[in-house]
Chain A
Amino acid sequence: MHAAVHSVLAPRPAVIRSWLSGPLAALGLLMGTFAGPADAQLIGEVDRAQLESWRRADGNKIGFCQFDVNLTNEFDRAVAEEIAARLLLDSEFVMLGAGYGIDGEGLETDLFRALINDCDVVLGFHVGAGMYAPEFTVTRPYVAYDHMMIAADPDYQSLEDVPSESRIGTMMASPADLALARYIATRAPENRWNRLPYGRAIDLVSGLGEGTIEAALIFGPVFATISEEDPEATQGLHPIQIDEAVESTANIGGLMLAKSSFLRLEVDRAIESMIADGTIGSLLEAHGFGSIPAVPGGV
């Protein structure tokens, strides 16, 4: 069920030595204590028979989970491999399925189960304060992406060119969706667009082609990936100037168990070093995200 791959990247002691104060054995020992159910909100919703209650003999290894539908998986994995290398650890990757409802029902319990049973960090999450149940914590962001405004009509150069009362598509409950909703609310009633949230990026792009919507707010790396993998779908679509009022940036990082505080600190420090020495920027370029709005280390 899981695709687990062990990293063979060589460690980089020159970097880690400067900020890893304790002996590596201590890190390994602490990681060994991570497995085991927590007593907090989610535990009542998880069948404990499905949790591994023993301590995993992980050895010198850090585990990363990824969702199979995440379009930035290759970049995230490269970041994670580098994090592991800087911690002098082997890395292991576990791929998770991502079939959840629009309302996300069941996801938090599954994340909890995955972080107990399968891995230490789930990659590719929008990170911020207070976004998750108390069982979880987040790493510092390793990148931030922005949203892009896309249109099919060649005459549109900015949002103001889009006639009022026409529909503007968004990804449902995305930061851009929220920003557009707030912006529309500030405008005079006769100058308002209709916001139409979508559940799937490819449907959002199709909506532009079919004329259901006049413009679309879409996450930068998602549009870049669709453009590369399905050029026909994005043919004729072009970015237009995004109004400052609907600019919306998402910081991306990892999700961890709250009790993994020591490991989280070390992961954060590894990410900081990768931001400082330009590694994140290089990885963005290498994975085709050099031309979209992206900020190494987040904002």
Chain B
Amino acid sequence: MRIMTLASATSALAIVLATQGFAQEAPATGAQEAQAAQEPQVPEEVLRSQETELEAQQPGLQTELAEETGAAEAGGRTYTPVTAEMILDPAPGDWLQARRTVDNKAHSPLDQINQDNVQNLELVWSWALPELGRQESAPLYHDGIVFVATNNNHIEALDAVTGDLIWRYMHERPEFSGGYHENQAMRQKNSIALWNDKVITTTVDAKLMALDALTGQVVWEVQVNDWERGYSYTAGPLVADGKIFTGTSGCSMVGTVGACWITAHDADTGEELWRYNTLDQPGDQLFEASWGGVPPQNRWGATPWATGAYDPELDMIFYGSGMPIPYAHISRGMSAEDDARGTNSTMALKADTGELVWLYQHLPNDNWDLDSPFERLIIEAEVDGETRKMIVTAAGKNGVVFGLDAETGEFQWGETTFYTNSITGIDEETGRVQTNDELYFTEFGQQQTFCPAINGGRLWMASAYSDRTGIFYMHGANTCQTSAPREMSLGAMPAVGESMGMFQSFGTSLAPGAENIGAFHALNAADGSKAFEIQHDRRYNSSVLTTGGGLVFVGDVDRRYYALDDETGDVLWTSPRLHAPAGGYPMTYEADGEQYVVFPVGLTSNAQQSLTPGLEMPALGANALYVFKLSEG
């Protein structure tokens, strides 16, 4: 096995790394160590220029696995490869995937910061991310490094204690023709996961890539789908069982007609193992019967645009899917009786083969873009004296929370949160969701007022669960929207998809009975009963984080993060006013024995300012991370 190439570098780089606190464990030469110890006074800017020069001379600085330890080393820093076992049971201070664990709980057992001392949080460092666009980043942590991906798939590795930049990967992509991919590029979500000594990422140009975790260099890449047909990724990979699972985006594009994909890949090479089409399963009569005679080559939607979940006992993965396209069934050439199977569903697939085990539809025949792709949580709870493994999810924008048996998909319970008129009920015996057919559009141009609005309700901001309380936490907005299906507006475009106009909107309003826009809901995961609820005069806008310290962290569009009591919802701490709205996925980690909390902030398009009296929004987003820990005093 090879040993790191850096050993042959000159001592100057080692000094740089040492002064930045990088090199304590590096197998640097004795001369390097001596020089580092003797010359800490060298100005940093000089050292940085030397570092740059050295990197230019040695563009092939590679991560290598040290034979003795199995740890990767580069730049004077060691890195313990992330194993399959770590992914299933991460060290308490680690955050290896978007929602920390593959059951998507977003729960950290860390409790150094807790209900008794959270008031003592103070800013340690902050960092501006290298791209514009919406803030939907999900930072990760392992071995002293915070990894963060932002828009255009730029990825950075930062020293977790100091906030110093270790490396930055600037993604090289094609110049896109038109708005869809440009917009996708500017709203990249939880785009990375850690595996072995690699950072795994999905990209807007539909690639799956592996970067060296210590240098950011590309190790391998696979073109999973054809971006020129419209495919892309906005959500990141799920890594488990030696595989990488991805959910495709772009399935509303004309060229992607008939196929939207969940794929599995070898985690070490990216080689594709299987793919599952969410829009069609040949031979499955339920698919045929539910699309009203519309053949697969005329179907769009069912986009699995959130990261999935994995259960090792069942060896199954769980993905959600989005709405049918276009929104109204009359636009699709379908009838009120057609469910459009595959859309707005939870799909349970065998991890090894991609074979469909069960499918549960959360909103059959959606007419309002209330899609249901969001994260599925795998939770074990005591039900009637038995431990039951459930999928608990606020699956769609309408905020209805479901408990499903993870093995069979059998309906266990369902609860509404904020107001919705999109369903009239759920059949307790069959589990079938009764979509509100009185809200269907029977004519083009017919206006209907549905709740919540297209931008939520809930959106991509992810829910969480606490192992401490057994409570499921999510948030949304109390909204309604009036819209009508309409004709296209561009003239001689060869593809109707290159037009707007499937849906014309006439504005949004607060939901009936609501006095505030923001709604935070906490439900007992075992049975869906209410734990607590918060009505808030601002829209919550970040994902939710829970900790072993009895805290729930969440932020809003008014540039604040909050720490809530995980049992009562009482606000225990409010962050200083930050420069931009909360966004992305807050995260916590432990480095050098101290617990840190990371708060992403930046641009949002979901503030719903018109429904929020007094809300002033900054003109620019300026995506950034703020990192807090307990004050030493």
A145: CB under 8 A from chain B? yes
Given contacts A68-B177, A175-B487, A194-B293, is CB(A103)–CB(B325) below 8 Å? yes
Bound: A8/B484 CA distance, A: 44
A229 to chain B, nearest CB (A): 10
- Report B-chain residues with C-beta under 8 Å of the C-beta of A222: 492, 494
Chain A residue with Cβ nearest B621:
A47
B132 near A49 (CB under 8 angstroms)?
yes
Chain B residue with Cβ nearest A248:
B487
A104 near B487 (CB under 8 angstroms)?
no
B333 near A196 (CB under 8 angstroms)?
yes
A99 near B619 (CB under 8 angstroms)?
no
- The interface bits of chain B over 447-486 (1 if a CB of A lies within 8 angstroms of the residue's CB, else 0) are 0000000000000000000000000000000000000011
Bound: A98/B496 CA distance, A: 11
Looking at B32-40, B164-172, B249-257, B418-426, the stretch in contact with chain A turns out to be B249-257
B490 near A67 (CB under 8 angstroms)?
yes
- Report B-chain residues with C-beta under 8 Å of the C-beta of A132: 489
Bound: A203/B254 CA distance, A: 10
B605: CB under 8 A from chain A? yes
Given contacts A172-B326, A221-B492, is CB(A44)–CB(B607) below 8 Å? yes
A126: CB under 8 A from chain B? yes
- Report B-chain residues with C-beta under 8 Å of the C-beta of A157: none
B176 near A69 (CB under 8 angstroms)?
no
- The interface bits of chain A over 119-136 (1 if a CB of B lies within 8 angstroms of the residue's CB, else 0) are 000001110000110000
B253 near A101 (CB under 8 angstroms)?
yes
A293 to chain B, nearest CB (A): 13
Bound: A250/B250 CA distance, A: 29
- Report A-chain residues with C-beta under 8 Å of the C-beta of B502: 102-104, 172-173
B180: CB under 8 A from chain A? yes
Contacts of A103-124 to chain B: CB distance below 8 A: 103-110, 124
B617: CB under 8 A from chain A? yes
Chain A residue with Cβ nearest B607:
A44
Bound: A175/B499 CA distance, A: 13
B294: CB under 8 A from chain A? yes
Chain B residue with Cβ nearest A141:
B491
Bound: A177/B501 CA distance, A: 13
B183: CB under 8 A from chain A? yes
Given contacts A48-B620, A107-B499, is CB(A172)–CB(B179) below 8 Å? no
A12 to chain B, nearest CB (A): 26
- Report A-chain residues with C-beta under 8 Å of the C-beta of B495: 69, 98, 199-201
Task: Give the dominant DSSP class at B's interface.
Answer: loop
Looking at B17-25, B90-98, B295-303, B353-361, the stretch in contact with chain A turns out to be B295-303
- Report B-chain residues with C-beta under 8 Å of the C-beta of A219: 491-492
A1: CB under 8 A from chain B? yes
- Report A-chain residues with C-beta under 8 Å of the C-beta of B369: 103
Bound: A37/B182 CA distance, A: 20
B528: CB under 8 A from chain A? no
Our pick among B176, B325, B330, B499 for the contact of A99 (Cβ within 8 Å) is B176
Our pick among A197, A202, A225 for the contact of B331 (Cβ within 8 Å) is A197
Interface size class of A (residues with CB under 8 A): 35 or more
Chain A residue with Cβ nearest B488:
A173
Bound: A68/B493 CA distance, A: 9
Contacts of B323-377 to chain A: CB distance below 8 A: 325-327, 330-333, 369
A101 near B497 (CB under 8 angstroms)?
yes
Bound: A199/B298 CA distance, A: 8
A105 near B496 (CB under 8 angstroms)?
no
B70 to chain A, nearest CB (A): 44
B487 near A173 (CB under 8 angstroms)?
yes
Bound: A102/B485 CA distance, A: 13
A103 near B491 (CB under 8 angstroms)?
no
Given contacts A102-B326, A103-B503, A173-B331, is CB(A96)–CB(B496) below 8 Å? no
- Report A-chain residues with C-beta under 8 Å of the C-beta of B560: none
B571: CB under 8 A from chain A? no
Chain A residue with Cβ nearest B485:
A173
B444 near A99 (CB under 8 angstroms)?
no
Our pick among A50, A99, A200 for the contact of B178 (Cβ within 8 Å) is A99
B289: CB under 8 A from chain A? no
- Report A-chain residues with C-beta under 8 Å of the C-beta of B620: 47-49
B323 to chain A, nearest CB (A): 9
Bound: A126/B488 CA distance, A: 8
B492 near A177 (CB under 8 angstroms)?
no
Chain B residue with Cβ nearest A126:
B489
- Report A-chain residues with C-beta under 8 Å of the C-beta of B494: 69, 71, 200-202, 222, 226
5 closest pairs, A vs B, by CB?
A104-B500, A99-B178, A97-B178, A97-B177, A101-B252
